[in-house]
Each structure stands twice: as structure tokens, then as C-alpha cells.
Structure 1
Amino acid sequence: MSDISVRALGEDEWQTYRSVRLEALQESPDAFVADHTDEADEGEDFWRARMARSARLIAEVADEDRPVGVVSIGDTADEDAEDAGQLFGLWVAPQWRGRSVAASLVRRGSEVALERGVRHLYYWVGTENARGVAFASSFGFRPTDDRRPMRTKKDDPEAEQEIAMVLALGEDRR
């Protein structure tokens, strides 16, 4: 198995993020709110602004000439949660799924969040995605009572719900 390294991208690496983000949108269109065509048309200013909003991490392996996974760490929408952050946009190239890439991204993402002063890291998972819930639970994410309609580009009132799962970071893991 190849060694997996995860690193945060700098703002000047917007083209690297753009490339892996567009690959994710194209390969897994139903997993994201965004649309590949719309984002592919965006220019440098859009991508630089996006890089400034959140930490963007990529997974790389020595025998690949491109990133094999991506995740973002950013703020939550809850203004009352000063010490909370959010893990989102997790994607792994299909040929690398099941090979610890996602786990490496989540581990490093948790470290980055903690370095930024985050004490509670949220991750939204589809309530019908048993594999996703089990994956998040394996890291210590615990379900909350917060639910919302699945955020996809389809406006379907019968759409699946998402559950907010939370991971306590730092020494006090309660």
C-alpha cells in the first residue's frame, strides 16, 4: 500500500484545489450541492476567495500524479458556536476508496481544526447513509438532534435528511 500524505493547500494553490474539486463534482454529482458546469466556468477570483474561506486539504500518494482526495474545514453556520467548526466536501477518487484515504483526510482535518481553536467539529451525513454514519462514528463523531433536508441541487420535498454529527476535539472529549 502506498503512503498517504495529507496537506493543507495555500491560497496560491487554488488551481490544485479547483482541479480536484471539479473532478469530485464530475465523478459524484449527487454528493454535492454545487454543479460541475457552474464551477468550471468560475475564474481565479472565485477560487481564491474560496481558498480564503476555509482550509482545503488534499490527500496525495507517491504513485499518483494528482490528488486522490479532498476535504475542507471551515466555520459552522451557527454564530453562537464560537469554538465549533465543520468538516465538509469530503471526497476520495473511486480507485482509492477503502484504502484509508478518507480516514487520513478526517484525521488531518481534525488536527487542523484543533490548531484553529475548534473544540467541536461537525460533519453532516445522510440519515440513510449507514456507511457514512458508521465511518464518522469510528472517529468518535456522535449524532446530535440536528437534522436538515439533504442539501443537493435537486429540490425534492421527499429528499433524505442529513444528521449533524459532532466530534469533541482536544483533551476534554465530552
Structure 2
Amino acid sequence: MTDISVRALGEEDWQVYRDVRLAALREAPDAFAASASQEEKYDEDFWRKRMGRSRRLVAESGDQVVGVVSVGRRPTDDERISELFGLWVSPDLRGKGVAWKLVDAGVKQAREDKYDFVIYWVGTDNGRAVAFASSFGFRPTDGRRPMTSTPPEGEDPEDEMAMIYPLGDDPGAVPSAVL
């Protein structure tokens, strides 16, 4: 495998995040709630503010950004829960360990930020993603929600399930806010 490094971006790296986010939206439009045409219109101020809402981590091969994931506080009353979201890897490097490195860095970041759990929403019909998250140590929960992306006309929206990764001493603990 190509040597891949992962690093956290700062606010000053907003253009790096913008470029990889737009690449992800163009390459996998059905995987995200937003569209490239929508986000291409956002200005520098928007992107800088977005950088401050969550940690943005990128995978790099040399000087090329080849993947991204975000990790941040889950919008819930339970401040112990962090959420991993927006995972994307360049198609030519899928299946080569890049996603693993990004998720590992995201989990480590959540631990450094003093969270007790990481939630990762995975499409219930996406066996590959469920298997990947399970192999990393995420466990399925009863938490379900409709995917936020728009399904093709005439089709029902796919569901996502919350998969949880405990960061504390009790790997069997699952916060009720997830369920």
C-alpha cells in the first residue's frame, strides 16, 4: 500500500477541506445529504465556520489528499457522545486501508477530546460498510433513522443504523441516547 498519513486540519486549512469535500460530493453524490453544486456556492467565511464545528481529518498520499472524515459532538443532550461522519476515500484507494486509518484517527481524536463513545451511522443495506465498522469494533445498536440523501424517485429511503464504539473502560456500556 502507498504510504498514507492522516492529519487534523486547522481553520487555516479550510481550502483543503473544501476541495476534498467537493471531490467526495462529486464522486459519491448519493452518499451525502448535500450536493456539490450546492456547496460550491459557499464562500470562505462559511468554510471557515464549518471547520470550527467539528474536527476534520484528511488522509494524504504524498501531497495528494485521498480521504476525509469528520468527528465532533453529536447533536444530543448526551455530551459523552461523539459522531464520526463524512467518511470518504478516493475510489482508487478503496480497500487499501485508508478508511481504517481515517476511522482510527477519528476514534483517537474523540478519545483525546474526552468523549466516552463514538457513533457511526451506517446504511442498513450497505453490507460492506457494516462489516467494515464491525471489524473495527463498532457494534450495532437499535438506533435507526432514514438516510438523509434523497432516494431515486419511487424508492423508499434507506435506513441507517447507529453503530457505537465505546472509548471507556466498560466496552459493554451503551448510552440510552443512541437507542
- TM > 0.5 between the two? yes
- Tell me whether 1:138 sits opposite 2:114 in the alignment: no
Alignment of 1:9-88 (within 5 A): 9-62=9-62, 65-79=63-77, 81-88=78-85
Q: Which amino acid in structure 1 is aligned with residue 16 of structure 2? A: T
Task: After TM superposition, give the deviation of residue 4 of structure 1 in Å.
Answer: 1.1
What does residue 158 of structure 1 align with?
156
Contact 1:55 1:74 in 2 (8 A): yes
Deviations 1:92-124 (A, max 9, x none): 000010110000000011000000011100000
Q: 2: CA distance between counterparts of 1:10 and 1:58?
A: 11
**In percent, how many aligned pairs have the same letter?**
55
What does residue 177 of structure 2 align with?
none
- Tell me whether 1:110 sits opposite 2:107 in the alignment: yes
Secondary structure of residue in 1 paired with 2:75: coil
Secondary structure of residue in 1 paired with 2:42: coil
Secondary structure of residue in 2 paired with 1:82: coil
What does residue 5 of structure 2 align with?
5
Q: 1: CA distance between counterparts of 2:101 and 2:170?
A: 22
- Spell out structure 1 runs of 4+ moving beyond 4 A: 154-157
Q: 2: CA distance between counterparts of 1:155 and 1:72?
A: 26
Task: After TM superposition, give the deviation of residue 2 of structure 1 in Å.
Answer: 1.7
What does residue 176 of structure 2 align with?
none
Task: After TM superposition, give the deviation of residue 7 of structure 1 in Å.
Answer: 0.5
Secondary structure of residue in 1 paired with 2:64: coil
Q: 2: CA distance between counterparts of 1:115 and 1:53?
A: 16
Contact 2:69 2:106 in 1 (8 A): yes
Deviations 1:28-87 (A, max 9, x none): 00000011011011000110010000000000112xx420000000111221x1111000
What does residue 169 of structure 1 align with?
167
| Bigger shift: residues 142-151 or 163-172 | 163-172
Contact 1:34 1:153 in 2 (8 A): no
Q: 2: CA distance between counterparts of 1:25 and 1:98?
A: 19
What does residue 92 of structure 2 align with?
95
Stretches of structure 1 that go unaligned for 5 or more consecutive residues are: none
Task: After TM superposition, give the deviation of residue 155 of structure 1 in Å.
Answer: 8.4
Alignment length (residue pairs): 171
State TM-score, norm by structure 1. 0.94
Task: After TM superposition, give the deviation of residue 3 of structure 1 in Å.
Answer: 1.4
State TM-score, norm by structure 2. 0.92
Q: Which amino acid in structure 1 is aligned with residue 48 of structure 2? A: R
Q: 2: CA distance between counterparts of 1:126 and 1:8?
A: 26
